[in-house]
Structure formats: structure tokens, C-alpha cells
Amino acid sequence: MVGAPRVGVLALQGDFREHLAVLTELGAVAIPVRREQELDQVDGLVLPGGESTVIDKLARNFGLAEPLKAKLAGGLPAYGTCAGLILLADRVVDAGPGQQSFGGLDVSVRRNAFGGQVDSFETDVLVDGFEGPPVHAAFIRAPVVDSVGPAATPIAHLTDGRVVAVRQGALLGTSFHPEITGELRFHRAFLDTVAARL
């Protein structure tokens, strides 16, 4: 395991265990991150699905928000799924009261864009740059990318044209949860980004 990338998963709330399992399966050293010392030990960071308002509040309470913003601004590779995408967005259209994001992705994101838990769904999505079959994507109280600024690139759309995955330099964001459908290509692509920066 010498030379394996050390990848953190923000483990304050949400489905961080599933991401830790996928990263471990792909050969990374996966580390739960709850404190600044743990953040300092990782080569990349995954921001999981969950409640974006709760994760934001806990990150501030744990003294993680500002160090995390600084790391992202300094080029730390990061991948956000669902709530993680909201947290990486520069702009949150319908943010909760006092809600902040860490920023980094030049996008505007709308929370719960498809409705509540009962409106969750699965569908196949074509992703630019992925070989093989479409991605089977699970949307659970998912956000959607309302607008994409010039620095970011949309890499997946729904059939109605709405953007559900974006890339910008070392940052990646998806509205959906590949970690719960057995889809490994996003995490693999993210690990490639991490490895390229080491």
C-alpha cells in the first residue's frame, strides 16, 4: 500500500461510510475527517451526501469550515456528491437561513430541486469522458446545477437538459450518489486527479 493516496471523507454527517468503503475498495487510504488535524493529513477530500445545512453548521462548530475553504482555494482535490455538491458550489440559490458553502465550483446550485424524499428516483445518465454503459444514478432529495459559470464544465445532463455533474480543475461534483449504486468510475476519476497532483 506504499504510495496509495490518502483521501479524506468529511465525516460530520451523511453517508460518509459508503464513500470510505468505495475508496478503500479502489486502493486508497481512506480517512474520516472531523478535525483540522485530519484534514491536514489528506491528499484529497470527498464531501458526502446528507444535510448540507447540518454539515455546514457542524463544520463551523468543529472549526473545520475556514481551514477547508483555504485548502480548496489552495488546490486540494475534492469530490462532492449531493449535499457535497451544494457545499462545493460558489452560489446556493435557495440556501437555508445563515447557510454557507465552502465554495470552489463556479456554479449555482438549487437544493432539493426534485422535491422531498418521496420524489427520489434512479435513472441512467451519460457522462462525458466515461467509457462503457451510462451511469446508473440515484437522486435522493437531490440538488441540481442551475447555472454553470465559465470556470466550470458540465459533464452530465438529464434528458430534460438539467446539469447533474460538473468538473472544474481538481474539483468534481454530482447531484447523485454513485457510492450507493455500485458505480466506481467517479471515485476512480477523482483518485486519478489526486494521484496526478501528488
* Half-sphere exposure in the Cβ direction for 100 (13 Å, CA): 12
* pLDDT tens per residue across span 41-63: 999 999 999 999 999 999 999 99
Active-site residue, from 19, 82, 183, 187: 82
Total domains in the fold of the chain? 1
Active-site residue, from 19, 51, 179, 187: 179
Residue 146 pLDDT exceeds 70: yes
Active-site residue, from 19, 51, 177, 187: 177
Question: Within 10 Å of residue 44's Cβ, how many Cβ atoms?
Answer: 23
Residue 31 lies in a domain: yes
3-state helix, strand, coil in the chain (%, to 5): 30, 30, 40
179 is catalytic: yes
Residue 158 lies in a domain: yes
82 is catalytic: yes
DSSP H or E segment with residue 159 = none
Residue 176 lies in a domain: yes
Residue 128 lies in a domain: yes
* pLDDT tens per residue across span 92-140: 999 989 999 999 999 999 998 988 778 889 999 999 999 999 999 999 9
Assess contact for 155 and 129: CB atoms under 8 A: yes
Q: Which three cell numbers stand for residue 77?
A: 482535490
Residue 1 lies in a domain: no
Domain around 71: 6-197
CATH number, domain of 31, equals 3.40.50.880
